A and B are shown apart, each in its own frame.
Chain A
Amino acid sequence: MNKSVYASPDQVSETKRHILTVLVDNEPGVLARVIGMFSGRGYNIDSLNVAEVSNDENISRITIVTHGTSEVVSQIEKQLLRIVPVHSVTNLDQEGSSVEAEVALVYIYISETNKKKVYQLCDLYRARKIENENNTTIFEIAGASERVNRFIKEINEITKVEIVRSGPVAISSIKKNEEK
C-alpha cells in the first residue's frame, strides 16, 4: 500500500533505510529524471551518488539511500524502471549482503594544545592526512557510514572542523560466476 488521496488502510511494514543501485544510460538529463521522480512523488533521498562506471558502454551507476516501508520502496523501484534510460534497479537490502562505504574529507582546525589528541584520534580511526600545498590539516576517512559518523562526533569534541562527505556507495557482495 502506498499513497492515495485516501489514507492507506493499514501500514503494513516498518520504515527502513534502503540502498538502491540504479544503472542508467549516461545521457543528458538522466540524473534530473531520477531525482525528479523522487521529489515529484514525495519520496525521500537521504544521499545520492553518481559516477560513470564504464567508458565503453556509457553507463552510470547511481547509488541512492532512501527510507520507507517496503511497499513504498518497491513502488520507488517500479517508478524508476519506468524511466526510459534506466537499465536496472537493485535494492541491495533485498539482495542479501552488500558492502558499503563512503569517504569524508575533514579540514581540522589545529593548535598546539589539541594537536596531540587530534593525531591520536586520526590514528585510531585510520584517517589519512592529505598532503597539500598550503600544508593545512586535511584528513580523509573512508568506510562504513557509522564509523565516519563516530569519527566526526569525536573530532568535533576536540576542535572545530569542516566536513564534506560523499554519501555511501554500495555493491552486492554475493558471489557471481567469477572467472577462474
Chain B
Amino acid sequence: MNNEITGAEIVLKSLAEQGVEVVFGYPGGAVLPIYDTLFKQNSIKHVLVRQEGGAIHAAEGYARSTGKTGVLLVTSGPGATNVVTGLTDAMMDSVPIVCITGQVPQHLIGSDAFQECDTTGITRPCTKHNYLVKDVNKLSSVFHEAFTIAQNGRPGPVLIDIPKDVQFASGTYEEKNKIIIPSHRLFEPSPDFEKNKIEEAVELISKAKKPIFYIGGGCINSGPKASKLVRQFINMVGSPVTMTLMGLGVVGSSDKNSLGMLGMHGMYEANMAMHECDVMINIGARFDDRVTGRLDAFSPNSKKIHIDIDESNINKTINVDVPIIGDVKQVVEKMISVWKDKKYKIDTDSLKLWWDKINKWKEVDCLNYNNEGKQIKPQYAVQRLYELTKNTKTFITTEVGQHQMWAAQFYKFEEPNRWLTSGGLGTMGYGFPAAIGAQVGHPDALVVDIAGDASILMNIQEMSTAVQYRLPVKIFILNNEYMGMVRQWQELLHGGRYSESYTDSLPDFVKLAESYKAVGLRAKTTDELDDVITEMIKTKNTVIADIWVTKEENCFPMIQSGSAHNEMMLSKDQKQDKKSAEKGKILV
C-alpha cells in the first residue's frame, strides 16, 4: 500500500513521464486537487490564461510550433464548455492536444450539480477520443494511452475528464512502458503495405508531362524530416509545387519550384497549374473546399495521387487514381528510393514547356495591388513586416479573415512550423493565444500575431497572460474598422449592404496595450510604418502595433464560391457571371 499516491499526483506524474514541460490552464472547484499538487512541484510549468478558450489555442500554438503535444488543464462545466471551440479547431487542423478537465465527484454526476456538464458527451464529436476516468487505478494508463492517441496517425485532441473524488482517491501508478495499447486503438501504417501503390505512383510521376505537387499540413505534422524529403523529391522531379494554407513552409517560398499557395485566395499560377496538370501529387492535403472550388471542374484532365494518413480522406470529395495510406516521411522516403532505383527521369522537353506555360501565368502578377498615396495598404504592411523580420527567427500566427489571407500571400515562409493559423475551422481569436503558446515554446524567437481589429477582440483578455509571463508577443493589427472578409463578401455578393460588419467604438489599441502595462504603437501613414515595425521588433515587451490600413481594400485574387480554379477573379472590376454568382451565394 506504500506505493499508492493520489489521483492528482498520478496526473502530474503521468505528465512528467510524458515529457510535458508546460501546461496551460485555469483553476476551478473541480480541479483544485490537481492545482494543489501542481503547487508542490517544480518540473511542470503552468501558464495561467484569462479564459479557457485562450488555454487551448495557446496549447495549439505550442504544439504546432514545437511539434510536441500541447496540454491544458481546466475545470468542469464552463471550463470544459469554453474549450469546445479550440478542441474542434485542433480536430480540424490535426493538432495533438491533451485536455484535462475536472468533473464533479462521481456521486453527483447526473444531479445537475454546480458546474456540472456532460463533458465527454459534449466533446465526443470534437475530440479524437475522450475518457471519463472513474477508477483511480486506471488513471495512469488512460494518460499514457491519451498521449499516444493524440500523436498517433493523424494527430488530434484527446480529452480526459476526471471526477474530483478520483483526484483525491489513492491508487497505483503504472509507467508508460508497462501499458500495452491494443493495436486496433492505434493506426500504425507501414510503407511496405503500400509498396505496389508507391511504385505505381512513382512510375506515373516519371511519365508526367505537366506534373504538380499539392502539399498540405500533413507534411508538417509528419515532422521536419518530412519537409526535407518532400523538397528533395520535388527537386529530383523538377516539378512545380503549390501548398495549402496549412502546408506553407514545407517548401520554402524562395524555392525555384514553389508557386506559393493555392485555393480561394491562392496564386493565379498555382490554381491554373492545378487546373491544367496531367499528374497531381497530393501529399498530406485533403481536397478541402477552399482549395478545390467547384468540384465538377476541378483539375479535369489529371491522374491524381493522394498520400494521406487518414483513409477517410481518400475519395471523400475527389476520386483519386492512386491512393496511398501512410505517413508522409515514410512514403516519400520510399518514393525517393524507387525513383533512384529505377533511374527514372522526367521528360525534360515537356517539363520545359510546362514551366514556360506557368511562367506566362506568373506574368499576370496576381498579387499586384495599387500602392499609391500615403495610406497604408494592408498588403504593403505585411510586405514590410516580412522584409524587416526575414533575418530573425520568426513565428507568424494569424486570426481569421482578410489579414490572414494577406499574411499567407505576402509573408514568405522558408521553413515548416513557423506559420500557425486556423485553417479548417477558421476560428477568429486563435492567433493571439496561439502566439502566446508559440512564445512559451520558443522564448527567444520573435512571435508576431498578424491580426484584424475584429478578431483580436475575441481573445484580447490574454494580454494579461502575455504581460504576466513577460512574453514579448507582437500583435500586428491591420486595422480597417471592418470585419474585412465579411465586408468583402457583402460587397461582392450582397449588393454592398454592409450589415453589421462595421465595428463602431473600437478601443484605442495603444491605450489598451498601455492599460495592460504593455507597449502600444500606431502607424497611420506609410511614412510611419517602418519605424513602428522596427520599434515593435526592438521592444522586449508585449506590443500592440495598431496599423491603420485602407478600409475597403479587398483580398484578391479570389475564386468565388461556385467557381473553378480557372475562373479566378483578379480584381473587383472582373465580376463573376451572374448565374454562377447566384449559385455561389448559397455556399460558404
- The contact of B316 among A9, A10, A75, by CB within 8 Å, is A75
- Bound-state CA distance A1–B182 (Å) is 32
Instruction: Check if B295 sits within 8 Å of A71, measured CB to CB.
Output: no
- Bound-state CA distance A3–B312 (Å) is 12
Closest to B297 in A: A9
| Shortest beta-carbon distance from B158 to chain A in Å | 9
Instruction: Check if A33 sits within 8 Å of B319, measured CB to CB.
Output: no
The answer to whether B314 has its CB under 8 Å from any CB of chain A is yes
The answer to whether A4 has its CB under 8 Å from any CB of chain B is yes
Q: For B157, what are the chain A residues with a Cβ–Cβ distance below 8 Å?
A: none
The answer to whether A150 has its CB under 8 Å from any CB of chain B is no
Query: Assuming the A-B contacts A4-B289, A40-B125, A86-B184, are A75 and B587 also in contact, with contact meaning beta carbons closer than 8 angstroms in the complex?
Result: no
- Bound-state CA distance A86–B149 (Å) is 14
Closest to B182 in A: A25
Q: For A88, what are the chain B residues with a Cβ–Cβ distance below 8 Å?
A: 184
Instruction: Check if A9 sits within 8 Å of B315, measured CB to CB.
Output: no
| Chain B positions 507 through 527: 1 when the CB is less than 8 Å from some CB of chain A, otherwise 0 | 000000000000000000000
| Chain B positions 163 through 200: 1 when the CB is less than 8 Å from some CB of chain A, otherwise 0 | 00000000000000000001011000000000000000
- Bound-state CA distance A81–B186 (Å) is 10
Query: Assuming the A-B contacts A2-B317, A4-B295, A5-B588, are A78 and B312 also in contact, with contact meaning beta carbons closer than 8 angstroms in the complex?
Result: yes
Instruction: Check if B316 sits within 8 Å of A5, measured CB to CB.
Output: no
Q: For B562, what are the chain A residues with a Cβ–Cβ distance below 8 Å?
A: 6
Instruction: Check if A9 sits within 8 Å of B296, measured CB to CB.
Output: yes
The answer to whether B132 has its CB under 8 Å from any CB of chain A is yes
| Chain B positions 122 through 139: 1 when the CB is less than 8 Å from some CB of chain A, otherwise 0 | 001100111010000000
| Shortest beta-carbon distance from B145 to chain A in Å | 9
The answer to whether B76 has its CB under 8 Å from any CB of chain A is no
Query: Assuming the A-B contacts A40-B125, A84-B129, A84-B149, are A6 and B587 also in contact, with contact meaning beta carbons closer than 8 angstroms in the complex?
Result: yes
Instruction: Check if B185 sits within 8 Å of A3, measured CB to CB.
Output: no
Query: Assuming the A-B contacts A81-B311, A84-B185, are A5 and B289 also in contact, with contact meaning beta carbons closer than 8 angstroms in the complex?
Result: yes
Instruction: Check if B312 sits within 8 Å of A85, measured CB to CB.
Output: no
- Bound-state CA distance A2–B289 (Å) is 13
Q: For B185, what are the chain A residues with a Cβ–Cβ distance below 8 Å?
A: 25, 84-85
- The contact of B315 among A5, A32, A71, A87, by CB within 8 Å, is A71
The answer to whether A79 has its CB under 8 Å from any CB of chain B is yes
Closest to A82 in B: B312
The answer to whether A47 has its CB under 8 Å from any CB of chain B is no
- The contact of A9 among B130, B295, B310, by CB within 8 Å, is B295
- The contact of A6 among B121, B132, B289, B311, by CB within 8 Å, is B289
- The contact of B128 among A1, A84, A87, by CB within 8 Å, is A84
| Chain B positions 275 through 308: 1 when the CB is less than 8 Å from some CB of chain A, otherwise 0 | 0000000000000010011111000000000000
Instruction: Check if B292 sits within 8 Å of A36, measured CB to CB.
Output: no
Query: Assuming the A-B contacts A6-B292, A6-B587, A88-B184, are A29 and B312 also in contact, with contact meaning beta carbons closer than 8 angstroms in the complex?
Result: no
* Chain B contacts with A in 7-64, Cβ cutoff 8 A: none
The answer to whether B120 has its CB under 8 Å from any CB of chain A is yes
Q: What interface size band does chain B fall in?
A: 20 to 34
| Chain A positions 102 through 138: 1 when the CB is less than 8 Å from some CB of chain B, otherwise 0 | 0000000000000000000000000000000000000
| Chain A positions 18 through 44: 1 when the CB is less than 8 Å from some CB of chain B, otherwise 0 | 000000010011001100110010000
Query: Assuming the A-B contacts A9-B296, A84-B149, are A33 and B312 also in contact, with contact meaning beta carbons closer than 8 angstroms in the complex?
Result: no
Q: For A2, what are the chain B residues with a Cβ–Cβ distance below 8 Å?
A: 315-317
The answer to whether A15 has its CB under 8 Å from any CB of chain B is no
Closest to A9 in B: B296
The answer to whether A7 has its CB under 8 Å from any CB of chain B is yes
- Bound-state CA distance A32–B125 (Å) is 10
Instruction: Check if B315 sits within 8 Å of A74, measured CB to CB.
Output: yes
Instruction: Check if A32 sits within 8 Å of B124, measured CB to CB.
Output: yes
With most chain B CB atoms within 10 A of its CB, the pick from A5, A74, A81 is A5
Instruction: Check if B319 sits within 8 Å of A1, measured CB to CB.
Output: yes
- Bound-state CA distance A29–B133 (Å) is 12
* Chain A contacts with B in 75-98, Cβ cutoff 8 A: 75, 78-79, 81-82, 84-88
- Bound-state CA distance A36–B293 (Å) is 29
- Bound-state CA distance A78–B310 (Å) is 9
The answer to whether A54 has its CB under 8 Å from any CB of chain B is no
Q: For B294, what are the chain A residues with a Cβ–Cβ distance below 8 Å?
A: 6
| Chain B positions 312 through 324: 1 when the CB is less than 8 Å from some CB of chain A, otherwise 0 | 1011111100000
Query: Assuming the A-B contacts A4-B317, A5-B588, A84-B149, are A32 and B121 also in contact, with contact meaning beta carbons closer than 8 angstroms in the complex?
Result: yes
The answer to whether A8 has its CB under 8 Å from any CB of chain B is yes
* Chain A contacts with B in 45-80, Cβ cutoff 8 A: 71, 74-75, 78-79
Instruction: Check if A75 sits within 8 Å of B289, measured CB to CB.
Output: no
- Bound-state CA distance A74–B319 (Å) is 12
Instruction: Check if A82 sits within 8 Å of B317, measured CB to CB.
Output: no
Q: For B314, what are the chain A residues with a Cβ–Cβ distance below 8 Å?
A: 78
Closest to B186 in A: A84
Closest to B312 in A: A78
Q: For B317, what are the chain A residues with a Cβ–Cβ distance below 8 Å?
A: 1-4
Closest to A1 in B: B319
| Chain B positions 338 through 374: 1 when the CB is less than 8 Å from some CB of chain A, otherwise 0 | 0000000000000000000000000000000000000
Query: Assuming the A-B contacts A2-B316, A6-B562, A78-B314, are A36 and B124 also in contact, with contact meaning beta carbons closer than 8 angstroms in the complex?
Result: yes
Q: For A10, what are the chain B residues with a Cβ–Cβ distance below 8 Å?
A: 296
Closest to A40 in B: B125
Instruction: Check if A7 sits within 8 Å of B312, measured CB to CB.
Output: no
| Shortest beta-carbon distance from A105 to chain B in Å | 31
Closest to B181 in A: A84
With most chain B CB atoms within 10 A of its CB, the pick from A6, A29, A86 is A6
- The contact of A28 among B132, B293, B561, B588, by CB within 8 Å, is B132
- Bound-state CA distance A44–B293 (Å) is 27
* Chain B contacts with A in 542-588, Cβ cutoff 8 A: 561-562, 587-588
Instruction: Check if B184 sits within 8 Å of A7, measured CB to CB.
Output: no
| Shortest beta-carbon distance from A6 to chain B in Å | 5
Q: For B130, what are the chain A residues with a Cβ–Cβ distance below 8 Å?
A: 29
Q: For A25, what are the chain B residues with a Cβ–Cβ distance below 8 Å?
A: 182, 185
Question: Can you report 7 residue pairs joining A to B where beta carbons are below 8 Å apart?
Answer: A3-B316, A4-B317, A7-B296, A78-B311, A78-B312, A84-B149, A87-B184
- State the B residues within 8 Å of A (CB): 120-121, 124-125, 128-130, 132, 149, 182, 184-185, 289, 292-296, 310-312, 314-319, 561-562, 587-588
- State the A residues within 8 Å of B (CB): 1-10, 25, 28-29, 32-33, 36-37, 40, 71, 74-75, 78-79, 81-82, 84-88
Closest 8 CB pairs of A and B: A9-B296, A78-B312, A84-B129, A4-B317, A87-B184, A6-B295, A5-B289, A40-B125
Question: Known pairs A6-B295, A36-B124, A79-B312. 16 more at Cβ < 8 A?
Answer: A1-B315, A1-B318, A2-B316, A3-B316, A4-B317, A5-B587, A6-B292, A7-B296, A25-B182, A29-B130, A32-B124, A33-B124, A37-B125, A74-B315, A81-B311, A84-B129
